Structure 1
Amino acid sequence: MAGGVVLVSSSIVRPVRSSQSDRTKIHLTPFDLSLLQFDYPQRGLLFSKPDSDFHLISRLKDSLSLALEIYFPFAGRLVKTENLEDDTVSFFIDCDGSGARFLHAEATSVSVSDFLQPDGSVPDFMKYFFPADDFKSCDGVSVPLLAIQVTEMTDGVFISFCYNHMVADGVSMWSFFHTWSKICSSGSGFNHKPLVLKGWFLEGIDYPIHIPVSETERSPPSRELSSVPITKEWIFHFSKKNIIDLKAKANSEVASSDMEVSSLQVVSAHMWRSIIRHSGVSRERETHCKIVVDLRQRVNPPLEKDCFGNMVYLTSAITTVEELLDRGLGEAALQIRKLVSSQTNDTCKRLAEDWFRNVKNLKSGIGSKVGDTIVVASSPRFDVYNKDFGWGKPIAIRAGPSNSISGKLSLFQGINEGSIDIQATLWEDVIVKLLADVEFLEHVTTA
């Protein structure tokens, strides 16, 4: 490893009392398979350092084994089947108990204050605090579906993870993480209800789905990397008051009181307008705001709110740069609101059926290289700070470098009630301009 991070050990943690006799086979939907070429999402929580008598690593590994017994799909593997009759391949998750990767690392020269820069910048060394920065979902045939890294610092501990997006989404991952922390803090298992798999598949679509072989092969490294502008990561903080003021401004610009916008929508709209204003994109060009939508309560009949699996997909609000910048914050937030509201059962069904009939462009990625797109990932609705492994709650959350393009925004619950933190990956010159933009900074802080 690098960046002052030294790998101490690497091991596989398997679920305790794992039984091969009742192993589960999970078929994959179009929404799962569309993520075949996506990097494993990466997240991590920063904690103060526990006392030396806590036995940190052994307790984390023992409790992880118990958590994997409950969340058994994370201990499985992706299986690829060749369909020789039509030169395609198919995939499913085999819950075979193979286990998750557990990395123990040390960064004895790094402190909590090094991590939490007062200007909001994210230090370059942070990428080494995450496991497996080059795994893609299709790699799950040979690598674990879940990897954990625990990095001990001088005065802190960073617990990070990456996971295969085809087996789970943020709802499922944070639910697992919460269960793991409760098991660790209690020192034993607890009465957890059996895992409810999403058990969802569209009628009329046969599975396993056949995918052209060419769409499943890893894309070669880009030769254009040297010409791509350098990206940097920055933390922007929206306080509860910032958000109230933004909502008041946006809703005053919206004609109908029945169409009031939410905190998430207005914060996303403010970032969208501010980033595009400084991205150098021509006013005639289209600009996209891609939003992650959770389908659990949108399909009919609705699924349980916390059922396990991947039930999200990206959908885009689209307008021209000219309209985005000239029509104001309220109109931008309203576009996002209308987009989210339009994601009904029928919409989901049409998207899945169209994908099934036209399996293509799996390698297109999540964004654009020309600076006309923002991608709003994660959610401030995830309760990330209520994760106590037995020595105290987290003091910060960070996203790893996977799936990074200029315009990727990872939204998190802020540590103060009602606040939202955004970890933004942007071209360096865009960040410089944002930090000098009085209109932008009126509603956001970087400290």
Structure 2
Amino acid sequence: MSGGGVVLVSSSIVRPVNSSQSGRTKIHLTPFDLSLLQFDYPQRGLLFSKPDSDFHLIISRLKDSLSLALEIYFPFAGRLVKTENLEDDTVSFFIDCDGSGARFLHTEAKSVSVSDILQPDGSVPDFLKYFFPADDFKSCDGVSLPLLVIQVTEMKDGVFISFCYNHMVADGVSMWSFFDTWSKICSTGSCFNYKPLVLKGWFLEGIDYPIHVPVSEAERSPPSREPSSVPITKEWIFHFTKKNISDLKAKANSEIASSSDLEVSSLQAVSAHMWRSIIRHSGVSREQKTHCRLVVDLRQRVNPPLEKDCFGNMVYLSSAITTVEELLDRGLGIGSKVGNTIVIASSPRFEVYNKDFGWGKPIAIRAGPSNSINGKLSVFQGISEGSIDVQAILWGDVIVKLLADLEFLEHVTIA
């Protein structure tokens, strides 16, 4: 691996401390899980200041604590198994929690500084994609690849710890829970007093497992050989301060006050502001429909509710739909109201700035290049209290127009 000044130092497999306990759990996959067969491994990364300790000792400590964390979150150390159903020419999948382990990459980019990543104008540098592991891994690749890959990059004055994971195994709630446990074990050196992992329980009942999947849906889609004429996208970080969000909420709530008793949340207000502003500069005709695809966490929405921290993939995609005309003409409130019952997966509700591996808390979070499409918004908790960061992937001309849009910038803080 080499690119963007990033050099591979070592690659290894980290197994749970008791990896000999193979086959202790076989996890069946639900229809929600299997719908993600062609989905890229989600990628996230945290930026830290560089510790004073010898970095080889840091790497050793990270790997030792990862082994302990994988003993608790054992599905991440398993492998995807595909079986053929000859009677109907289909295939089935399950997770074999066999302790095969997670991939751990140690890389260096000693010419890169923290300031190179934290661009003052909010732009995301192109080289950052090399700080993330396993680009172009898809869920269906889990039959031959690890379900979790970690990359730790030593920089000139910082450390970037990134990860990617098979989305059929876990969602954001489960992944950040794992990351929290790993950081605490690394910081304290102890893995005691952690509760056993809670799986999906009754949610798996009433379905005839294993589910049969047509072979065509289970195989990796061939890459397009057609030359791309799609405009080039850019990535940008838009920061919403606590006051920015308060003003947006007040505006949205005042606009829907006569038609709804519901109060617009911070996430809804920010999402609606981004949605309206992007569509305004996308050249879409006013008669066309526009939709915002969002991810819903099912844990507390099913009956009876599941445990809030139960492990697995418990999300599905939902869409908020309206016309461009209605979205633009009826104000911020309509964008908030349309998305009233939905939640964004990359959520500011995920606490990311408390992940301390023993040398301090993160100073930034970034999403990796997987699943990169125009219009993708990754929404994160901001580093300052009550703030939200949105990492947007948009056509370059749309970014330029947003940065010149006074109505948009009125509620956004750049740098």
For Structure 1 versus Structure 2, the TM-score category normalised by the shorter chain is over 0.9
1:116 and 2:84 matched = no
Are the equivalent residues in 1 in contact too, given 2:268–2:339 (CA < 8 A)? no
Using the TM superposition, give the Cα deviation of residue 17 of structure 1 relative to its aligned residue in structure 2, in angstroms.
1.5
- Structure 2 partner of 1:317: 320
CA 199–234 in structure 1, closer or farther in 2 if over 3 Å, else same: same
Q: Hey, what's the Cα distance between the residues in 2 that align with 1:12 and 1:366?
A: 49
Are the equivalent residues in 1 in contact too, given 2:376–2:393 (CA < 8 A)? yes
Which digits, 9 at most, give the CA deviation of each residue in 1:370-393, with x for residues without a partner?
Answer: 999999541000000000000000
Using the TM superposition, give the Cα deviation of residue 205 of structure 1 relative to its aligned residue in structure 2, in angstroms.
2.7
1:412 and 2:414 matched = no
Are the equivalent residues in 1 in contact too, given 2:121–2:414 (CA < 8 A)? yes
| Corresponding residue to 2:180 among 164, 174, 178 | 178
- Structure 1 partner of 2:295: 292
Which digits, 9 at most, give the CA deviation of each residue in 1:49-106, with x for residues without a partner?
Answer: 0113464400000000000000000000000011011111110000000000000000
Using the TM superposition, give the Cα deviation of residue 173 of structure 1 relative to its aligned residue in structure 2, in angstroms.
0.3
- Structure 2 partner of 1:218: 220
Q: Hey, what's the Cα distance between the residues in 1 that align with 2:263 and 2:364?
A: 31
- Percent sequence identity over aligned pairs: 91
Using the TM superposition, give the Cα deviation of residue 434 of structure 1 relative to its aligned residue in structure 2, in angstroms.
0.5
Which digits, 9 at most, give the CA deviation of each residue in 1:120-147, with x for residues without a partner?
Answer: 0000000000000110000000000000
Give the match's secondary structure for 2:359: coil
Are the equivalent residues in 1 in contact too, given 2:353–2:361 (CA < 8 A)? yes
Deviates more, 1:120-129 or 1:198-207: 198-207
Are the equivalent residues in 2 in contact too, given 1:293–1:312 (CA < 8 A)? yes
CA 270–38 in structure 1, closer or farther in 2 if over 3 Å, else same: same
Give the match's secondary structure for 1:234: strand
Are the equivalent residues in 2 in contact too, given 1:367–1:375 (CA < 8 A)? no
Are the equivalent residues in 2 in contact too, given 1:239–1:419 (CA < 8 A)? yes
CA 392–292 in structure 1, closer or farther in 2 if over 3 Å, else same: same
Are the equivalent residues in 1 in contact too, given 2:15–2:101 (CA < 8 A)? yes
Q: Hey, what's the Cα distance between the residues in 1 that align with 2:55 and 2:126?
A: 30
Using the TM superposition, give the Cα deviation of residue 323 of structure 1 relative to its aligned residue in structure 2, in angstroms.
1.1
Which digits, 9 at most, give the CA deviation of each residue in 1:214-260, with x for residues without a partner?
Answer: 11111111234521111110000000000000000000001346211
Are the equivalent residues in 2 in contact too, given 1:281–1:371 (CA < 8 A)? no
Are the equivalent residues in 2 in contact too, given 1:376–1:408 (CA < 8 A)? no
Give the match's secondary structure for 2:337: coil
Using the TM superposition, give the Cα deviation of residue 187 of structure 1 relative to its aligned residue in structure 2, in angstroms.
2.1
Q: Hey, what's the Cα distance between the residues in 1 that align with 2:54 and 2:294?
A: 44
Q: Hey, what's the Cα distance between the residues in 2 that align with 1:273 and 1:433?
A: 13
CA 206–13 in structure 1, closer or farther in 2 if over 3 Å, else same: same
Are the equivalent residues in 2 in contact too, given 1:286–1:318 (CA < 8 A)? yes
Using the TM superposition, give the Cα deviation of residue 189 of structure 1 relative to its aligned residue in structure 2, in angstroms.
2.1
CA 426–47 in structure 1, closer or farther in 2 if over 3 Å, else same: same
Are the equivalent residues in 1 in contact too, given 2:327–2:334 (CA < 8 A)? no
Which digits, 9 at most, give the CA deviation of each residue in 1:159-211, with x for residues without a partner?
Answer: 00000000000000000000000000012323101111112436543111111
Using the TM superposition, give the Cα deviation of residue 446 of structure 1 relative to its aligned residue in structure 2, in angstroms.
2.0
**TM-score, structure 1 as length reference:** 0.88
Are the equivalent residues in 2 in contact too, given 1:286–1:372 (CA < 8 A)? no
Which digits, 9 at most, give the CA deviation of each residue in 1:378-426, with x for residues without a partner?
Answer: 1000000000000000000000000011100000000001000000010
Are the equivalent residues in 2 in contact too, given 1:366–1:403 (CA < 8 A)? no
Are the equivalent residues in 2 in contact too, given 1:67–1:183 (CA < 8 A)? yes
1:4 and 2:5 matched = yes
Q: Hey, what's the Cα distance between the residues in 1 that align with 2:222 and 2:174?
A: 31
Q: Hey, what's the Cα distance between the residues in 2 that align with 1:396 and 1:60?
A: 19
CA 86–310 in structure 1, closer or farther in 2 if over 3 Å, else same: same
Which digits, 9 at most, give the CA deviation of each residue in 1:4-54, with x for residues without a partner?
Answer: 000000000000022435510000111111111000000000000011346
Give the match's secondary structure for 2:344: strand
CA 413–370 in structure 1, closer or farther in 2 if over 3 Å, else same: closer
Q: Hey, what's the Cα distance between the residues in 2 that align with 1:270 and 1:62?
A: 44
Are the equivalent residues in 2 in contact too, given 1:377–1:408 (CA < 8 A)? no
Give the match's secondary structure for 1:410: strand
Q: Hey, what's the Cα distance between the residues in 1 that align with 2:245 and 2:6?
A: 37
Aligned residues: 411
Are the equivalent residues in 1 in contact too, given 2:105–2:152 (CA < 8 A)? yes
Give the match's secondary structure for 2:400: helix
Q: Hey, what's the Cα distance between the residues in 2 that align with 1:42 and 1:33?
A: 19
Are the equivalent residues in 2 in contact too, given 1:107–1:152 (CA < 8 A)? yes
CA 53–109 in structure 1, closer or farther in 2 if over 3 Å, else same: closer
CA 374–31 in structure 1, closer or farther in 2 if over 3 Å, else same: closer
Q: Hey, what's the Cα distance between the residues in 2 that align with 1:286 and 1:43?
A: 31
Aligned-residue RMSD, C-alpha: 3.5
Q: Hey, what's the Cα distance between the residues in 1 that align with 2:344 and 2:98?
A: 34
CA 271–30 in structure 1, closer or farther in 2 if over 3 Å, else same: same
Q: Hey, what's the Cα distance between the residues in 2 that align with 1:6 and 1:257?
A: 55
Unaligned runs of 5+ in 1: 330-364
Give the match's secondary structure for 1:114: helix
